[in-house]
Amino acid sequence: MKLRRSNLSKLRGQPFDVLIVGGGINGAVSAAALAGKGAGVALIDRGDFAGLTSMNSSNLAWGGIKYMETGDFALVRKLCVSRNLLMQSYPSTVQEIRFFTTLAKGFRYGPRFLALGAWIYWLIGNCFTRTPRLLAPARIRDEEPIVETRDAAGGFEYSDAYLHDNDARFVFNFVRTALDHGCVAANYVESQGARREDGWWSLRARDLIDGGPEFTIRARVLVNAAGPHVDAHNALTGERTQHRHTLSKGIHLIVRRLVAERRVLAFFADDGRLFFVIPMGNRTCIGTTDTPVSDPAAGITDEDIAFVLDNINKRLKLEKPLTREDIISTRCGVRPLAVRSEPGRGRDFLHLSRKHAVEMRRETAHISIFGGKLTDCINVGEEISTLVRSLGIALPCPTYKWFGEPPDSVRAEFFHQATLLDLDGYTAPESSEPLSTRLWRRYGAEALGLLENIREDPRQADVLIKGTEYLRCEVAQAARREMITKLEDFLRRRSKIALVERREDIRHSPGLTEACDLLFGAEAAAKLAEYFATPA
Q: How far apart are CA 56 and CA 335, in angstroms?
A: 9
**Residue 192 Cβ vs ligand FAD, minimum distance, rounded to whole Å:** 7
CB-nearer residue toward ligand FAD: 227 or 279: 227
**Residue 505 Cβ vs ligand FAD, minimum distance, rounded to whole Å:** 25
**Residue 511 Cβ vs ligand FAD, minimum distance, rounded to whole Å:** 29
**Footprint of ligand FAD on this chain (CB under 6 A)?**
21-27, 44-47, 51-54, 56-60, 190-191, 225-229, 233, 250, 288, 333-336, 372-375
In three-state secondary structure terms, 280 is: strand
CB-nearer residue toward ligand FAD: 394 or 536: 536
Residue of 295, 293, 261 lying closest to 277 (CA atoms): 261
**Residue 29 Cβ vs ligand FAD, minimum distance, rounded to whole Å:** 9
Is the CB of residue 165 less than 8 Å from the CB of residue 94?
A: no
Neighbours of 532 (CB within 10 A): 13
Amino acid letter, 301: T
**Residue 394 Cβ vs ligand FAD, minimum distance, rounded to whole Å:** 26
Amino acid letter, 243: H
Q: Judging by DSSP bridges, how do beta strands 16-21 and 41-45 pair with one another? A: parallel
CB-nearer residue toward ligand FAD: 174 or 443: 174
Q: Hey, which residues does 41 pair with through a beta bridge? A: 18
**Residue 270 Cβ vs ligand FAD, minimum distance, rounded to whole Å:** 18
Is the CB of residue 436 less than 8 Å from the CB of residue 423?
A: yes
Residue of 380, 485, 359 lying closest to 25 (CA atoms): 380
Q: How far apart are CA 249 and CA 336, in angstroms?
A: 9
**Residue 253 Cβ vs ligand FAD, minimum distance, rounded to whole Å:** 12
CB-nearer residue toward ligand FAD: 226 or 500: 226
**Residue 67 Cβ vs ligand FAD, minimum distance, rounded to whole Å:** 12
CB-nearer residue toward ligand FAD: 368 or 436: 368
CB-nearer residue toward ligand FAD: 191 or 202: 191
CB-nearer residue toward ligand FAD: 358 or 451: 358
How big is the chain by its Cα radius of gyration, in Å? 23
Q: How far apart are CA 244 and CA 322, in angstroms?
A: 39
Residue of 75, 59, 276, 267 lying closest to 161 (CA atoms): 59
CB-nearer residue toward ligand FAD: 113 or 349: 349
Using left for φ > 0, alpha for ψ between -120 and 50, and beta otherwise, residue 181 falls in alpha
Neighbours of 430 (CB within 10 A): 15
Q: How far apart are CA 400 and CA 514, in angstroms?
A: 40
**Residue 453 Cβ vs ligand FAD, minimum distance, rounded to whole Å:** 31
Q: From residue 250, give the alpha-carbon distance in Å to each of 230, 254, 333, 334, 520.
A: 19, 14, 5, 6, 33
Q: How far apart are CA 227 and CA 258, in angstroms?
A: 33
**Residue 264 Cβ vs ligand FAD, minimum distance, rounded to whole Å:** 11
Q: How far apart are CA 498 and CA 176, in angstroms?
A: 21
CB-nearer residue toward ligand FAD: 85 or 454: 85
CB-nearer residue toward ligand FAD: 154 or 227: 227
**Residue 316 Cβ vs ligand FAD, minimum distance, rounded to whole Å:** 21
CB-nearer residue toward ligand FAD: 225 or 454: 225
Give, as one character, the DSSP assignment of residue 324: G
Alpha-helical runs (H) found in 367-407: 377-390
In three-state secondary structure terms, 335 is: strand
**Residue 298 Cβ vs ligand FAD, minimum distance, rounded to whole Å:** 10
Concatenating the DSSP letter of every residue in 90-156 gives -TTTEEEEEEEEEEETT-SS-HHHHHHHHHHHHHHTTT-SPPPEEE-HHHHHHH-TTB--TTEEEEE
CB-nearer residue toward ligand FAD: 46 or 169: 46
What are φ and ψ of residue 120, in 5° steps?
Answer: -65, -40
